[in-house]
Chains A and B, each alone.
Chain A
Amino acid sequence: MRRGTVAAPGALLTAGCFVALSLTLLAFLPFQTHWAARTKLYLQPGFWPAVAIAAMVLFSAGHLLRTALCRPSPGTLRELGVWVRALEFVVWFLVYVLLVPLAGYLASTLAFSCALAWRAGYRTRTWMAIAALFGFAVVVVFKSILGVNIPAGQIYDLLPPGGFRSFVMTHL
């Protein structure tokens, strides 16, 4: 970017965060790595992290300087708002992850795909049916057909022992 180039909204904030991260990691380096006595530098456990962090500090400082020389564009707060709003979907994903070992892969996936489709604005019966069908197809393809390693949910322990329980625990 040359002087006169317009930086994206939030560019200075991003560059500043990377500098802060690099300096924080540099501060933690002596405490988070071991430096052994009577050992050559390149054999030190902390050598390679030090090289990586040095590169981070150097390049992040340069990137911040370059960004600071660009013309700022408005909308940093709006951009920050988008970053924060995206955290909602991080939470959605983590709830799904926590639900699967409890409710089982099939029920959790059906609930997740339909609920998230609803949240994304697809609220008609047709879209709910498509979301449910999609969730079902994902479970069948990955767990039943490909046999991907996803353990059975604790809810399946409530089923009476027998063939049906074994089937759902293995394939759904």
Chain B
Amino acid sequence: MLMQWDVLLALLIGSVGGVVIGAIPGVGPAVAIAILLPATFALPPLVGLVMLLGIYGSSMFGGALPAILINTPGTAVNALTTYDGYPMTRRGEALQALGLAYGASFFSGIVSILALVLLSPVLAKVAPMFGSKEIFLAALLGLVLVVIAHRGQTLAAGLLVGFGALLGTVGLEPLKYTQRFTFGQEWLASGFDLIVVVLGLFALSQAFFLLTEPESAPAVHKVSGSMASAMRKVLRYKRIAAAGTGFGVLMGMIPGVGEFTAQFLSYTYAQKTSKTPEDFGKGSPEGLVASEAANNAVPAAAMIPLLALGIPGEALTAMMLSVFYVHSVIPGPQLFQTQLDFVYALYSAMILLNVLVILFMLVASNLLLNVIRIPTRFLGMMILTLSFVGVYSLRNSVFDCAIAAGFGWLGLVLKRQNLPAVPIVLGLVLGGIMETKFRPAMARVREFPDFFDRPIAAFLGIAILCLVIGHCASLYRNRVAPSVS
């Protein structure tokens, strides 16, 4: 399945395109995936998924470039890379910083794919034990985690999760076939499409943001020297890279968590165990390796719950779920029984993607400097033009475009207020899963404890309780004894 020209072309587009997209500050994989998603519906499932996964995984390689050279993260998850990457550039160590970032990303990308290969079948074997109660609780765990993960913005994240869950209920409901929150409008009868909401919140909002901000086009200097030698230096930081990868895999597997928590944990661990913790934030190679290893381990790991259970690990894999369903490839245990060749082709493609990306980065770093120079308002125009394709091609609906524009404006307001948009998407997806599973789960429940009468349900219930209590305790401790910075 892998050695077909369209799959190989998708690999090339995904890897190179992902790096280019990641290198352009203000674009990011969410924008690109949201725009390309409807286009992939017409492609064979493996081709579409490989292209999207390539963009997702490769973008963080590209995002490290502006983060290190001009202190501007190419993608949001490269923000931590600026802490140590840019100071290294200012010391004249730009090549070393880039080499460490790419080397750490390659290492963690490959290891997390191996984790995907090993753990997905295991989780798929466990998946039949996941009934309605367990899936409901797993989705609830995801929502609790996404709220808690937004430290300092927990209340806003909770509000936006609720908003996303409400959006998922709009339209015709499947029990009594009544309308919910349509206000008598025909165009709301089919509800809010996930792709329309995502395109609005990520792509259109970014376009509006860039068009309303003052112009900027940063000056960038070329990097000279051997990138291959610089990449090999990551072997000096094996422990940090391995730990970062471990955090990335773990956080990627847990629904609702994602790259930011993985990076934070990895960076904190690296700093606490470093012989020179005072260097962190001032150009520490360990800090750079820790953040890059963690963020690049997440994409493949987020595919584990998606393939095994059909529960997306985070927002971008939630979008990819629709590619599966459009092509009648249903994630879950049966995927590993009836379409194992598809699964193995996906694994192989992801490994090949990482190899292609690293080969590209060996030669193309200076070429990529040109994309960093695209002026921001012109970039906004480009994103707006591309966003039309993504929305209109779904159902040729002007209403979809208007809804996307509305969410784009909302996304702009959230961006300017430094509030997260991801909880809306996860509320929409996981809230829908929760509603679907809650009814059959409750059919077998006479009293409240019956909901947790199976081991996995009990474990998930206890995990949710511990997380909520732990978070409240942490907030109370911070109020009683605020830390001195």
B405 touches A93 (CB 8 A): yes
Which residues does A use to contact B, with CB under 8 Å? 1-2, 8, 10-11, 14, 18, 22, 25, 28, 32-34, 36, 40, 42-43, 45-46, 48-49, 51-56, 58-60, 62-63, 66, 79, 82-83, 85-87, 89-90, 92-94, 96-98, 100, 109, 112-113, 116-117, 120-122, 127, 130-131, 134-135, 138, 142, 146-151
B385 touches A87 (CB 8 A): no
Contacts of B179 in A (CB 8 A): 32, 34
Which residues does B use to contact A, with CB under 8 Å? 38-39, 42-43, 152, 155-156, 158-159, 161-163, 165-166, 169, 173, 175-176, 178-183, 204, 207-208, 211-212, 215, 375, 377-378, 380-382, 384-389, 392-393, 396, 398, 401-402, 405-406, 408-409, 412-413, 416-419, 427, 431, 434-435, 438-439, 442, 478-479, 482
One of B161, B169, B378, B479 near A48 (C-beta < 8 A):
B169
Contacts of A56 in B (CB 8 A): 159, 162-163, 166
Contacts of A18 in B (CB 8 A): 159
A100–B392 Cα distance when bound, in Å, is 10
In the A-B complex, list the 4 residue pairs whose CB atoms are closest, starting with the nearest: A55-B162, A59-B158, A34-B178, A59-B159
Contacts of A130 in B (CB 8 A): 378
**Residue on A nearest B165 in the bound complex, by CB:** A52
B42 touches A48 (CB 8 A): no
Closest Cβ of chain A to B352, distance in Å, is: 22
A43 touches B175 (CB 8 A): yes
Label chain A's interface by main secondary structure: helix
Given A48-B165, A90-B409, A94-B402, CB of A82 within 8 Å of CB of B416: yes
One of A97, A121, A127 near B401 (C-beta < 8 A):
A97
B159 touches A122 (CB 8 A): no
One of A2, A42, A43, A134 near B382 (C-beta < 8 A):
A134
A109–B478 Cα distance when bound, in Å, is 53
B385 touches A138 (CB 8 A): yes
Residue of A10, A22, A60, A79 with most chain B CB atoms under a 10 A cut-off: A60
Contacts of A53 in B (CB 8 A): 162, 166
Contacts of A59 in B (CB 8 A): 155-156, 158-159, 162
**Residue on B nearest A14 in the bound complex, by CB:** B417
6 additional A-B pairs beyond A138-B385, A149-B42, beta carbons within 8 Å, are: A32-B179, A48-B438, A52-B169, A62-B158, A83-B409, A131-B381
A127–B169 Cα distance when bound, in Å, is 45
A79–B387 Cα distance when bound, in Å, is 25
B180 touches A151 (CB 8 A): no
Contacts of B419 in A (CB 8 A): 14
Contacts of A87 in B (CB 8 A): 409
B212 touches A82 (CB 8 A): yes
Closest Cβ of chain A to B45, distance in Å, is: 15
Closest Cβ of chain A to B178, distance in Å, is: 4
A93–B412 Cα distance when bound, in Å, is 15
**Residue on A nearest B159 in the bound complex, by CB:** A59
Contacts of B207 in A (CB 8 A): 89
Closest Cβ of chain B to A171, distance in Å, is: 15
A42 touches B156 (CB 8 A): no
Closest Cβ of chain B to A59, distance in Å, is: 4
Contacts of A1 in B (CB 8 A): 152
**Residue on B nearest A66 in the bound complex, by CB:** B155
Number of A-B contacts (CB under 8 A): 186
A89 touches B385 (CB 8 A): no
Contacts of A60 in B (CB 8 A): 155, 159
Contacts of A89 in B (CB 8 A): 207-208, 211-212, 380, 384
One of B42, B182, B409, B434 near A148 (C-beta < 8 A):
B42
A-B contact pairs, 5 of them (CB 8 A): A11-B417, A32-B179, A33-B180, A83-B409, A86-B409
A135–B389 Cα distance when bound, in Å, is 12
Contacts of B159 in A (CB 8 A): 18, 22, 55-56, 59-60, 63
Closest Cβ of chain A to B413, distance in Å, is: 6
Given A25-B166, A127-B378, CB of A148 within 8 Å of CB of B212: no
Given A89-B212, A148-B39, CB of A63 within 8 Å of CB of B393: no
B180 touches A100 (CB 8 A): no
Residue of A52, A113, A116, A150 with most chain B CB atoms under a 10 A cut-off: A52
Contacts of A83 in B (CB 8 A): 409, 412-413, 416
Given A42-B439, A49-B166, A63-B159, CB of A120 within 8 Å of CB of B381: yes
B385 touches A135 (CB 8 A): yes
One of A46, A131, A138 near B389 (C-beta < 8 A):
A138
Contacts of B176 in A (CB 8 A): 34, 36, 45
A113–B389 Cα distance when bound, in Å, is 13
Given A53-B166, A86-B212, A100-B392, CB of A146 within 8 Å of CB of B42: yes
A90 touches B392 (CB 8 A): no
A150 touches B155 (CB 8 A): no
Contacts of B385 in A (CB 8 A): 96, 109, 112-113, 116, 134-135, 138
A112–B207 Cα distance when bound, in Å, is 14
Given A52-B169, A113-B385, CB of A90 within 8 Å of CB of B393: no
Contacts of A134 in B (CB 8 A): 382, 385
Given A45-B173, A52-B162, CB of A96 within 8 Å of CB of B38: no
